Every structure is written in structure tokens, then in C-alpha cells.
Amino acid sequence: MMIWTEMNGIDNTPGETSLQGVRRWSVGLGFLAAATLVGSFWMIFFYAPTEREMGIVQRIFYVHVPSAWVAFLAFGIVALCSLGYLWLRDERLDAIALAAAELGVIFTTIVLITGPLWGKIAWGAWWVWEPRLTLTLLLWFIYVGYFILRGATESPERGKRFAAILGIVGAVDIPLIHMSVQWFRSQHPKPVIMNPEGPTAAPEIVQTLLVSLLAFTLLFLSLLLARYVVERLQGPFTALPMIVYGWARQPNPEFRELTSAAIVVLLFVLLTANAAAILLRNRYERNR
């Protein structure tokens, strides 16, 4: 029974209206992001000139750089919200941190996929231990650890606390890692590497990049709010099936019994309600 109160105690249920407002913002920003993305795609393929030295492959840069920017923005949000969560213990801050961490990992993955695609042609190698690449890879590992740690604790509240601590320690560690990997490179002769930014940037290139940055940021904010709403809906009494699903993943045997009981009860209620509906309809139609 302690677990039950623990699960209830963690929530200060948000007003339905405020969540709906957030959802509307998310949808609105989503449309805006879609429009900007279409515009930026047009600019990437038709407006921006093909870069002279790197050729057509340089165009991946308009996806790569905005993704990296969004990922860093996300990890910044994770750190700030984690700090806020440890201080204020506001569930909303934890929900934002979780949403931002998930998006950060997704966008870091995009960076790690687009980078080698470009590097294979521009550098002649899929992977180089260049400071920025190394940092991105380590960031990916740190924030994947964030989810593993969060999911591995027995009580959800503790998972949130631990994840928040990792979010803060990770953010403080990022500059240290950055300094150390740069130090590490400086001792090894570099292979012949072109400047990743490209030697010169035409104004069209800069404009296209700026539009892409805007599009990705809008997309990120829209997804962040959408994910936040989903996370907030998982509070007690708001989405019973989601809660039952959450129980099923708890290792505690008490939860297993709870899950089985809840599924049986839900099934019973569902069947009864349906049977009642069928009976009522049949009777109503016959009487008509």
C-alpha cells in the first residue's frame, strides 16, 4: 500500500485547461515548423549554391548543424530543469527535462548519422577522433545513461531524482570533456582535415543555414511541448491504461499483482459496459 500512496503523492495534477493550452501551442508551433521546414528544404535544394570544394555533399550541413544546435539546447534545458526539479520538486520541471533529454538523444543521433555520411566523402573516413565528434559521441552515451538510470530504479520518484543528478553532473562535465578532447587532439598530428565549416560561406549559404536553424528550433519546441503533455497525462486518474502499463514494468512483485488485478478489472468493466450498451441499444431499437 505504501507504493500506492507513493505513486499518488508525486503528483500535483495540472489543470486540464493549462495542458490543453500547451497542446495548442505544440500544434501551432508544429504547423509553423512544418512550413519553415518546407521553406528551408526548398532553400537547401534550389536556393543555396553548391559549395565549390566539397560539392553536393555539403548540403547535409543544413541538417547537421541545426540538429547539433538543437541537441545542445536540449541538454541545456535538461540541466536547468534538473536543477529546478531538485530544488523545487515540481513534477512539471521533471517532465520538461525528460522530454528535452529524449529529443536531445534523438537529435544527437541525427548528428552522429549525418556527420559520418558527410565525413566519408569530405574527409575520406567514416569516423575521425576529432574533438567535436568525440564530444558528440560521449554526450550521446551520457544521455542514454540518463534513461537507463531513470528506468532502473524501483520507485519512480527516486528515478527522477537520480536522473536529475545525472543531468546536472553531465552538463557540468561537458566543458571538461570538451577541453580534454581538444587537449588530446593537440598531441596527435591531425590527418589532413578540411575545416568542417567549409572555407568560405556565400551569403546564400548563411541564409539557408539560418532558416534551417529556425525550422529545427521550432520543430524541437513543438515536439518538446507535445512530449511534455504526454508525460503529464501519465499522472494518476488521468490515463488509467497508461498507469497500468507503467505498473507492468515495475519489478516489484506487488506491482505484478496490481497489474493483473487492474487488467482483469478493466476488462470486466469494459465488457460490462459494452454488454450494457448492446442491451440498451437493442431494447431501444425494438421499442422504437
Partner 1 sequence: MLRYFAQAWAVARKDLLLEARSRERFVSMATFAVLVAVVFSLALDPAVRARDIAGAMLWVTVLFAGTLGLGRSFALEREADALTGVLVSPVPRGAVFLGKFLANLAIVLAVEAVVFPVFALFFGLRFAGALGGLVLVVVLATVGFMALGTLFSAMTAHTRHGETLLPILLLPLLIPVVIFAASATQRLLVGRPLVEIGGNLRMLLAIDLVFLFLCTAAFGSAMEE
Footprint on this chain of partner 1 (rule: CB under 8 A): 86, 138, 141-142, 145, 148-149, 152-154, 158, 161-162, 164-166, 168-170, 172-173, 176-177, 179-181, 183-184, 187, 251
To partner 1, the closest distance from the beta carbon of 162 in angstroms equals 5
Q: Which lies closer to partner 1 via its Cβ, residue 105 or residue 122?
A: 105
CB neighbour class for 245 (10 Å; exposed up to 12, middle 13-18, buried from 19): middle
Distance CA 209, CA 39 (A): 12
Q: Which lies closer to partner 1 via its Cβ, residue 182 or residue 217?
A: 182
Name the phi and psi angles at 51, rounded to 5. Answer: -65, 140
Q: Is 51 left (phi over 0), alpha (psi -120 to 50) or beta?
A: beta
To partner 1, the closest distance from the beta carbon of 171 in angstroms equals 10
Q: Which lies closer to partner 1 via its Cβ, residue 4 or residue 129?
A: 129
Note whether 252 and 154 are within 8 A (CB). Answer: yes
To partner 1, the closest distance from the beta carbon of 17 in angstroms equals 32
Distance CA 205, CA 43 (A): 9
Half-sphere exposure at residue 216, Cβ-oriented, CA atoms within 13 angstroms: 28
Note whether 114 and 63 are within 8 A (CB). Answer: yes
Name the phi and psi angles at 75, rounded to 5. Answer: -70, -30
To partner 1, the closest distance from the beta carbon of 282 in angstroms equals 51
Note whether 216 and 70 are within 8 A (CB). Answer: yes
To partner 1, the closest distance from the beta carbon of 179 in angstroms equals 7
Note whether 162 and 146 are within 8 A (CB). Answer: no
Note whether 185 and 129 are within 8 A (CB). Answer: yes
Q: Which lies closer to partner 1 via its Cβ, residue 63 or residue 128?
A: 128
Note whether 79 and 171 are within 8 A (CB). Answer: yes
To partner 1, the closest distance from the beta carbon of 287 in angstroms equals 58
Q: Which lies closer to partner 1 via its Cβ, residue 88 or residue 279?
A: 88
Distance CA 81, CA 167 (A): 9
Q: Which lies closer to partner 1 via its Cβ, residue 165 or residue 263?
A: 165
To partner 1, the closest distance from the beta carbon of 9 in angstroms equals 13
To partner 1, the closest distance from the beta carbon of 132 in angstroms equals 14
What residues contact 113, with CB distance under 8 A and at least 6 apart? none
Q: Which lies closer to partner 1 via its Cβ, residue 80 or residue 149?
A: 149
Q: Which lies closer to partner 1 via its Cβ, residue 93 or residue 166?
A: 166
CA 230-231-233 angle, 5° bins: 65
